[in-house]
C-alpha cells in the first residue's frame, strides 16, 4: 500500500539542519510535524512541554530506535543510548557519577587547559593553524590522560582522527560514512583489547577507564569487552567532539570582537561570562539537529494521535532558535545567560529531561566547563584571521566553518 505521506529521508539528507524547522513552518498548526522518515511514520515535537513529554520513559523507548548506520558509526552497538528502563539506569550510573562530579569536571578542565598551553607554547615560530584540528588533538590528549586510556601519544592522535571521523560521517552516505565505520571498528578493537589486558592485571588507579573495566551489569556480569569499548568511546568521542564548539567559539570571537575583548579582560572573573559565552555557542551554532525515539504505546500530543512504534523526534536545532524562547534568536548574545542559568527544558543542545534517569547527555557539565575554559584561553591568545571560507553550510550534518577556522598565530 502506498503511504499517504511521502517519505522525507531524502529531503532531510538534502536540507540538513533546515529540514525540520522548515517542515514546521509549513505544518498546518505550526506545532507538530507529521511526516515519514526511514519508512516509518514520524512525528516531530518542539518546545519545553514537548521536552517533558518526549523524555517521559512511559512515552518513548530507545531500543530499536536508532538506525544501524548511526550505531555503526556514532554510538556503537549495545551503547547506553539504546537501552531502556532498569538496564538503562544501571548503565547510566557508570557515566553520571563520574562525569558530573565537580572535582572530576575540574580535573578534566585543568588537563585540557594544560595541554592547550603546552600545544600553543610549543609553537616557537608563529604560523597558521586550523583551530578545529588543534582543538581535537588537545581534547584527545586531555581525555586520554583524564580517563586513564592506555594510549601512547601516536594512539591519542589516532583517537582524535577516528573520533572526528565517527561524528563527521554518521549522517551521510558515501565516503565520509565509510571512513566513520572504519574509524569505529579500529577504535573498538584497540579498546576491547585494552579492556581484556586490564582485566588480566591488578586494578589500576580509580579512573573512568577502570570504572568501565570493572563495571557490573544488573545480573552481576561484567560488560563484554566490545560493549566496554563502545562505552569508553562514548566518553572519548563526545569529549573530542567539543572541538566543533571550539571552532564555533573561534568564529564567534572573530565575528563579534566585543566578546573576545570581554573574555580577555584581566578584570573579568573567569567564571560567569565564559560560561554564558559557552551556553550561547551551544544554543546559537548548529550541531545536533534533533533527537529521536519510538512511541512506546499509542500516544496523543495536543490532540494529535501518535501510534505505537511511530518515530518521535524532538527538534533540537529549531527549539534553540525559537523566537518564543529566545528573543531575536539569530543574534549571538551571551548576555542571555548572564543573569540566570538556562532553563533545562528550554536549552537542549545536548538533549533534555533528567540526566540520571533519562537520556539527557551526562557530559553537559564537562562540555560547558571545557568550552568556557578553552574559549577564554583562545580569546587570550594572539591571532588574526587570514582570508578563508568561513561559511557554515546548514545542509551538512554535522557542520562547521568550511575552513575549520584557520588562525595566524602572532600579534594581533
272 in Cβ contact with 357 (< 8 Å): no
Question: Is 362 near ligand HEM (CB under 6 A)?
Answer: yes
The distance of closest approach from Cβ of residue 350 to ligand HEM in the complex, given in angstroms and rounded to an integer, is 4
**Binding positions for ligand HEM, 55-84, rule CB under 6 A:** 80-81
The Cα 188–Cα 387 span in angstroms is: 39
Q: Say if residue 281 is exposed, middle or buried (CB neighbours under 10 Å; 0-12, 13-18, 19+).
A: buried
The Cα 223–Cα 210 span in angstroms is: 12
Nearer to ligand HEM, 16 or 238 (CB): 238
Bridge partners (DSSP) of residue 146 are none
Three cell numbers written together for 383: 591571532
The distance of closest approach from Cβ of residue 164 to ligand HEM in the complex, given in angstroms and rounded to an integer, is 11
Q: Using CA atoms in the order 83, 84, 87, 92, what is the torsion angle rounded to 10 degrees?
A: 70
Q: Which residues, 6+ apart, have CB-to-CB distance to 269 below 8 Å?
A: none
The Cα 192–Cα 298 span in angstroms is: 40
The distance of closest approach from Cβ of residue 291 to ligand HEM in the complex, given in angstroms and rounded to an integer, is 4
**Local structure of 14: helix, strand or coil:** helix
Three cell numbers written together for 105: 569536571
Nearer to ligand HEM, 326 or 385 (CB): 326
Candidates 187, 239, 259, 403; binder of ligand HEM (CB under 6 A) is 239
The distance of closest approach from Cβ of residue 19 to ligand HEM in the complex, given in angstroms and rounded to an integer, is 17
132 in Cβ contact with 244 (< 8 Å): yes
**Binding positions for ligand HEM, 155-194, rule CB under 6 A:** none
The distance of closest approach from Cβ of residue 14 to ligand HEM in the complex, given in angstroms and rounded to an integer, is 22
The distance of closest approach from Cβ of residue 139 to ligand HEM in the complex, given in angstroms and rounded to an integer, is 9
Candidates 16, 21, 78, 238; binder of ligand HEM (CB under 6 A) is 238
Binding mask 331-360 vs ligand HEM (x if CB under 6 A, - otherwise)? Answer: ------------------xxx-------xx
The Cα 279–Cα 283 span in angstroms is: 6
Question: Is 366 near ligand HEM (CB under 6 A)?
Answer: yes
Nearer to ligand HEM, 334 or 351 (CB): 351
Question: Is 48 near ligand HEM (CB under 6 A)?
Answer: no
Bridge partners (DSSP) of residue 351 are 349
69 in Cβ contact with 180 (< 8 Å): no
360 in Cβ contact with 81 (< 8 Å): no
Nearer to ligand HEM, 115 or 235 (CB): 235
Binding mask 268-287 vs ligand HEM (x if CB under 6 A, - otherwise)? Answer: -------------------x
Question: Is 234 near ligand HEM (CB under 6 A)?
Answer: yes
Question: Is 288 near ligand HEM (CB under 6 A)?
Answer: yes
Question: Is 144 near ligand HEM (CB under 6 A)?
Answer: no
Three cell numbers written together for 403: 575552513
Question: Is 230 near ligand HEM (CB under 6 A)?
Answer: no
Candidates 164, 361, 375, 379; binder of ligand HEM (CB under 6 A) is 361
Strand spans (E) along 71-160: 128-130
Q: Beta 406-409 vs 383-384: how paired, if at all?
A: antiparallel
Question: Is 53 near ligand HEM (CB under 6 A)?
Answer: no
Candidates 24, 46, 92, 406; binder of ligand HEM (CB under 6 A) is 92
The Cα 363–Cα 55 span in angstroms is: 17
What CA–CA distances, in Å, run from 259 to 98, 264, 290? 32, 9, 28
Candidates 37, 160, 232, 291; binder of ligand HEM (CB under 6 A) is 291
Q: Which residues contact ligand HEM (rule: CB under 6 A)? A: 80-81, 92, 95, 99, 234-235, 238-239, 241-242, 245, 287-288, 291, 349-351, 359-363, 366-367
Amino acid at each position: 500500500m502506498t503511504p499517504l505521506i511521502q517519505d522525507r529521508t531524502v529531503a532531510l539528507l538534502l536540507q540538513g539542519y533546515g529540514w525540520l524547522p522548515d517542515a514546521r513552518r509549513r505544518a498546518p498548526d505550526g506545532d507538530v510535524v507529521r511526516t515519514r522518515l526511514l519508512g516509518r511514520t514520524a512525528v516531530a515535537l518542539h518546545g519545553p512541554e514537548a521536552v517533558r513529554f518526549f523524555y517521559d520513559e512511559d512515552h518513548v523507548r530507545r531500543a530499536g530506535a536508532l538506525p544501524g548506520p548511526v550505531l555503526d558509526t556514532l554510538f556503537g552497538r549495545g551503547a547506553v543510548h539504546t537501552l531502556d528502563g532498569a538496564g538503562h539506569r544501571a548503565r547510566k550510573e557508570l557515566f553520571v557519577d563520574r562525569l558530573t562530579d565537580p572535582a572530576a569536571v575540574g580535573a578534566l578542565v585543568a588537563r585540557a587547559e594544560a595541554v592547550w598551553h603546552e600545544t600553543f607554547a610549543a609553537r616557537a615560530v608563529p604560523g597558521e593553524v586550523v583551530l578545529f584540528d588543534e582543538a581535537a588533538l588537545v581534547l584527545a590528549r586531555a581525555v586520554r590522560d583524564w580517563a586513564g586510556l592506555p594510549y601512547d601519544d601516536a594512539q591519542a592522535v589516532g583517537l582524535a582522527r577516528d573520533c572526528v571521523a565517527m561524528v563527521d560521517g554518521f549522517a551521510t552516505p558515501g565516503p565520509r560514512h565509510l571512513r566513520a565505520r572504519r574509524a569505529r571498528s579500529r577504535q573498538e578493537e584497540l579498546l576491547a583489547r585494552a579492556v581484556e589486558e586490564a582485566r588480566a592485571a591488578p586494578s589500576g588507579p580509580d579512573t573512568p577507564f577502570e570504572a568501565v573495566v570493572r563495571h557490573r551489569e544488573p545480573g552481576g556480569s561484567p560488560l563484554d569487552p566490545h560493549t566496554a569499548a563502545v562505552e569508553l568511546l562514548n566518553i572519548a568521542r563526545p569529549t573530542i567532539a567539543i572541538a566543533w564548539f571550539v571552532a564555533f567559539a573561534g568564529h564567534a570571537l572573530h565575528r563579534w570582537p566585543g566578546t573576545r575583548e570581554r573574555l580577555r579582560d584581566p578584570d573579568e572573573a573567569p567564571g560567569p561570562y565564559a560560561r554564558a559565552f559557552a551556553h550561547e555557542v551551544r544554543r546559537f551554532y548548529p550541531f545536533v539537529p534533533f533527537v529521536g525515539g519510538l512511541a512506546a504505546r499509542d500516544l496523543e500530543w495536543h490532540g494529535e494521535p501518535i501510534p505505537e512504534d511511530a518515530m518521535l523526534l524532538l527538534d533540537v536545532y529549531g527549539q534553540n532558535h525559537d523566537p518564543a524562547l529566545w528573543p531575536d534568536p539569530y543574534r549571538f548574545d551571551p548576555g542571555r545567560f548572564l543573569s540566570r542559568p538556562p532553563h533545562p527544558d528550554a536549552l537542549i543542545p545536548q538533549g533534555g529531561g533528567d540526566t540520571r534517569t533519562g537520556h539527557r547527555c551526562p557530559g553537559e557539565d564537562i562540555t560547558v566547563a571545557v568550552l568556557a575554559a578553552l574559549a577564554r584561553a583562545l580569546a587570550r591568545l594572539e591571532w588574526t584571521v587570514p582570508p578563508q571560507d568561513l561559511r557554515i553550510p546548514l545542509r551538512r550534518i554535522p557542520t562547521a566553518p568550511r575552513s575549520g577556522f584557520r588562525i595566524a598565530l602572532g600579534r594581533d
